[in-house]
Each structure stands twice: as structure tokens, then as C-alpha cells.
Amino acid sequence: MPNSKSEPNSNGTLRAARPRGRFGPRRLSLALTSALALALGHGAAQQTPAPSAPATIPAAPAPAKPRPPAANYVALGVLYYDQGNFDDAYLAFRAAAEADPKNSEALLGLGRTQSRLRLYGPSLETLKTLVAQDPRNVSGYLALAQAYQAQYVGTSDRSAILGNLDAALKVLDAGEAAARGGESDKLDLNLSKINNERGYIYRLQGQNAKAIATFKEANRLNPDNGVILYNIGDMYYATGNIPEALNNLQLAVIADPGDPFNRAYYAKLLALSGNFNAAKSESAQAARVAPKNPYAVGQYGVVAYLSGDSKTARSQLQAAIKLEPLRYPEFYYYMGRLELDQGNLKEARNNLTKSVALASTNPEYLYYLGLSYERAADNVAPDKLRATDSYTRAVKLDPNYKLALDGLKRLK
């Protein structure tokens, strides 16, 4: 199941989440240097040395060039951020914040970019500074709540950050107070964003019914937003209500026909409900519209697998994994299923191991990893110890998971 979508774009509106950037900033590249020079109006002409002259009284030093305004750096940071180039966006937003530490747009961009680069501590500090300096900035509260969630999701040892989700909810309460005290014509829009964000947190806390109700409140305030409709559908799918999931995903596609996430997810749910012809049409269209979007390409592969088209499934899943190797464990899972079906146990074990490494709390992934170890093929022996371990881990996550329980019985 895909992640819920929450990433705002540079102006704070909701949009589909994009793949994370690589860890940490890097040095200023030549391309960025040139872009900064253009954006900030710096000249690059070389100076020719003056001819020697008799010694005279030294001339007064030339006055230092004024530092470019922070807004120039912000504009460049927004450009890089919206392109998914978070390393260079970080450099631009940091320069903006250094030029004007009170600039809210600079701090907002810097905090969001730090979070995308997994610099969670600095991100939290930056965004706390923003809301302290600009307590009416609703986007600042939303970004701070998102940073708390990102740290919670992105940290394997959560013992030191158990309070993150409660802290995020408190931040959103403060954001709601700021929204209600701000411009009345933006109230419903801002409250919809805040409730959408609360929905994510309730889901992380396992409060599924509360998450659905909160997403629906966001939808009431902002009825035609494809991201919110997607999130409602995603929650219904997570709770096993496929008809309602399909209904809301269809509405999301209607609300935003060009969004590849909505259409690709809708296609997968159509396939899971047995409507393979419609599913193949929708998934092919999503991949055709966004051929570089790993989610759209990968879901085309998933739909092809579920429809029995192993050739298309293989090519699309491999393409999606090449585009984004770490974000979507689901695609390794279906590649593993495909290899398992075809008796390629080494490849099946390799792909299923990767799916479990990226999503260790998914009992279904663990079960099929165990099944790949239980089976034998030419030159590949079964490994009953690893199979038992995988089945046991699956049962710990879901004590009523019949397939895993049956697997343990077979190995006794």
C-alpha cells in the first residue's frame, strides 16, 4: 500500500509526495554556482591587471558589493525544491536564511528541505524558530508537524522520539488557532490542510476510524481536492473496505485527472476487485502520462501481475525499481512473487528479502519470503530454518494470519 500523500509544494498547497532526496547537503556544484550567479545578478567577468604606476597614496578600497536580497535565494530554492533537487534547494534556502534570518519563506523552505534530507533535528529547530517569529504562519505549523512525523517514520529506534506524534498534534492545534485568527477567506482551506495532516497522525497511531473521520472533515472543507480523496480511499483500503476505497479513488481521479498517483492506485484497486480490463487501461494511462514516475510505472507492473501478464509485469516493475530503488517495497514484493511463480528461487528470495528489509512489519511480505525458503528447485535447496523464522515473524505481527500458521504446521 502506498504512503499517504502529504507533501506540500513550495506555496504550501497539498500535492503528491515525491521521493526523498539523498542524505545530507553536498558542495555547491558548478551548475548551482552558475544558477546562483544568474539569479542573483553577479557578474563573472575577469579583471585585467592594471599596468604598474609610480607609487602614490593608496586609493580607498572599493566598497563591498551589497549582499543579494534573501528573496532571490528563496526563488532559487523553490525552483530546486519543486524539481526534487533537495541538495541544491538546501544550499539556496540556507543562503536566504543567512541573508535574512527573519525571512519566513526562507525558514519555511530551509526547514522543509532539511526534513527531506533527513536532517530531522535541524529541521525541527528551524521550523520552531519560524513559528516563534511568525506565529500566524499556518504553513509553518504544518511543516513542523510534518517534520515530527518524518522523524518518527524515518527513525528505526523510536525509544527517544515516542512523543513525536503527540507533539505534532499539539503543533496542529496551535496551527488551527492561528488559522482561526487569520484571514477569513482562507479559513476553510487552512483548516482542511490541518485536518488532512491530523489524519496522517491518527493513522500512524493506529486510530483508523478517527483518521477516516478526520480526512472526511478535511474533504468537507475542501471537497474537490484529489489528495484528500486519495487519503480517504487509502484509509478504506487499509481497513479492508474495497468498495469505499474504489469510490473515493475514482473521485480523486475525477478531481485531478492528471495526477498519476491517484490513477495508478485506482487501477490497482480495480485489479484487486477483479476488474482487470479497466485496471489495465487506467494503469497504462497513468504510466504513459508519467513515464518517469516510479509509483505509476510500478503500479502498472502490479496490475499486469495481478492480471496474469508476466512479461509486462516484469518490465514495468524492473523499470520502477530502477527509477526509485528504496521507496517502494511493494515492487520488490511483486517481483519476488513473479520469480516465485516461475520457479526462480534465487531471484525470488533476493527480491522478497529486499521487500522485507524495506517494510519489516508487513506479514504478507514475510510469509512469501518464508515460502521461497521452504521451496526447492534445481540447484537451490530449501532452508527450513529461515522459512520458520519468516513464518514466525509474520504470525507475531498477525496472530490470525492463516497462511503463515499453515506454513509453520508444514515445517513441524
pLDDT band at 60 (very low <50, low <70, confident <90, very high): low
Instruction: Report the sign of the C-alpha dihedral through residues 350, 355, 361, 367, in that order.
Output: negative
What's the rounded mean pLDDT across residues 88-109? 97
Question: What's the confidence (pLDDT) of residue 157?
Answer: 82
| CATH 1.25.40.10 domain span(s) along the chain | 1-17+69-182, 275-326, 328-412
Neighbours of 353 (CB within 10 A): 18
Is the pLDDT at 317 greater than 80? The verdict is: yes
Whole-model pTM: value is: 0.77
What CATH number matches the domain at 1-17+69-182, 3.40.50.300, 1.25.40.10, 3.50.50.60, 1.10.10.60?
Answer: 1.25.40.10
Is the pLDDT at 152 greater than 80? The verdict is: yes
Residues pairing with 377 in the sheet: 380
CATH T-level fold of 275-326: 1.25.40
What's the rounded mean pLDDT across residues 308-337? 97
The class of domain 328-412 in CATH terms is: mainly alpha
More confident residue, 338 or 69: 338
What's the rounded mean pLDDT across residues 322-326? 94
CA 285 to chain centre: 22
Q: Which amino acid, residue 308?
A: G
Question: What's the confidence (pLDDT) of residue 68?
Answer: 74
pLDDT band at 124 (very low <50, low <70, confident <90, very high): very high
The separation between the first and the last C-alpha atoms of the chain, rounded to the nearest angstrom, is 32
Give yes or no for a contact between 14 and 196, defined as CB atoms under 8 angstroms apart: yes
Distance of alpha carbon 340 from alpha carbon 336, whole angstroms: 6
More confident residue, 333 or 37: 333
